[in-house]
Structure 1
Amino acid sequence: MAIDTCIFDAYGTLFDVNAAARQAAEDTPDLAEIWQKLSADWRDKQLQYTWLRAITGDHVDFWQVTGDGLDWAMEAAGLDDPKLRERLMQLYWELAAYPEVPDMLGALKDQGRATGILSNGSPEMLQGAVRSAGIGRLLDHVLSVESVGVFKPSSKVYDMVGRAFGCAAGDVLFVSANGWDAASAKSYGFRAVWVNRAGAPVDRLPGRPDHVLSDLSGLPELVAGL
């Protein structure tokens, strides 16, 4: 079965979630030694809060969850600096794309594939990141969970792909740097690629990704061979 549609998670997959803390550390002495830990805690809490809110039904948008995660991370680091918080949140609107992303998306479009984003991010956050990275012309749809009011890995989120692209689940290759997201997409019925940038073990979940890559540069060749 040919792959017609390639769908990407956004944060950590196309966009570098560490970029905000790393950039802020360049001109903030208090962050020079701790920005990596701060960024990791921020991301961990951001994800944990999406899972918990999906279970409890207490939905808020991803901007709120991102701020809540940062507040926890800053308190854990002993940082009480409203101006730093404001700067870090502002930088999240402008996260850098990984270097290989534009060429990778361009190669998929040259192959005739439909491409899109399926993300927990709010529409405004995603628009900002896509615009900052200059990749809007390479995406057919940018889909936000705000359309269904629940975070991944709810099947309601993955359902959005079929509605937007008019395709069957088996015709979709779903790409995520989050192991749990790739596993959930596989269980849903997509073919899945896990972008394992950190070299982590595969998550012990019912779904297992069909392919594992260390970055996105080899994706067009992989898709061409499917």
Structure 2
Amino acid sequence: MSHAAYVFDAYGTLFDVHAAVRRHAPAMGADGQAFSDLWRAKQLEYSWIRTLMGTYTDFWTLTEQSLDYAFARFPSADRTLKTALLDAYWHLDCYPEVPGVLKHLKDRGARIAILSNGTPQMLQSAVKKAGLDLIIDDIFSVETVKSFKTAPAVYDMVTTTYRLYPDAVSFQSSNRWDIAGATKFGFRTVWINRGNMPDEYADYGPSLILPSLESL
């Protein structure tokens, strides 16, 4: 079934959030993956807590704050890498199938967009680095509504801008909690379960589960 718009989460769906630490793996040592996992977990946790409190701090600031926490939890990690790790976040690798899949959907006449917690500057940098700037039509950042996912106002940016009913939008995310929020909003949702994780949020299940974007 084709849709008028295909909207993608950015981090973990199009772009590999662990690429920053992986680029400095030798210097990070044996705790590198655990460090990266914690950095990502705290980055998301901080966004949820601020939304629940009714406050807003941009995602770049939360990315730096969560990195500081990861360094505090892993004192063996070399703190001199902080600047390099943050810089790497502006140039994350996209997953190998991403350019071909997005181009195929665009060639079929669909609108292609990103809907992300990231700041516009972070997202534009990642998109340009990955060579996706001629494929992606629009970048929707939570900066516009000053709330993070899964606030309904975030998903509403797409339907309001495109003047579409939610079920005309196919939304893809690797984050199951994001899929739950988008499903509740009314999007047709596709969970990109890259890590073969167990399902959750059974009352807000996706329309489809895929291991990557390749079969979209």
Give me the whole-angstrom Cα distance separating, in 2, the residues matched to 1:79 and 1:139. 40
C-alpha distance in structure 2 between counterparts of 1:79 and 1:20, whole Å: 18
**Is 1:106 the counterpart of 2:72 in the alignment?**
no
Moved over 3 A (4+): 79-82
> What's the % identity of the aligned pairs?
44
What amino acid does structure 1 have at the position aligned with 2:24?
A: A
Unaligned runs of 5+ in 2: none
| Amino acid of the structure 2 residue aligned with 1:39 | S
Corresponding residue number in structure 2 for 1:118: 115
Q: After superposition, give the CA deviation of every residue in 1:4-54 in whole Å (9 maximum; x if it has no partner).
A: 11000000000000000000224x2xx132211111000000011111111
Question: Partner amino acid for 1:33?
Answer: A
Which residue of 189, 203, 208 corresponds with 1:206?
A: 203
Q: Tell me if the contact between 1:141 and 1:164 (Cα under 8 Å) persists in the aligned partners.
A: no
Q: How does 1:1-226 map to 2 (within 5 A)?
A: 2-26=2-26, 28=27, 31-79=28-76, 81-204=78-201, 206-219=203-216
| C-alpha deviation, 1:57, in angstroms | 1.6
Greater displacement, 93-102 / 202-211:
202-211
More divergent stretch after superposition (115-124 vs 71-80): 71-80
Amino acid paired to 1:109: K
- TM-score where L is the length of structure 1: 0.92
Task: Give the CA deviation at 1:104.
Answer: 0.5
Q: Distance in 2 between matches of 1:87 and 1:2?
A: 41
Over the aligned positions, Cα root-mean-square deviation in angstroms equals 1.3
Letter in 1 for 2:17: V
Counterparts of 1:180 and 1:171, CA distance in 2: 21
Query: TM (normalized to structure 2)?
Result: 0.96
The number of residue pairs the alignment matches comes to 216
In structure 2, distance between residues paired with 1:182 and 1:92: 23
Of 82-91 and 199-208, more deviation after overlay is shown by 199-208
> Cα offset for 1:83?
2.6
User: CA offsets, 1:85-141, max 9 Å, x none?
Assistant: 111000000000000000000110111111100000001000110011010111110
Cα distance in structure 1, aligned partners of 2:201 and 2:159: 27
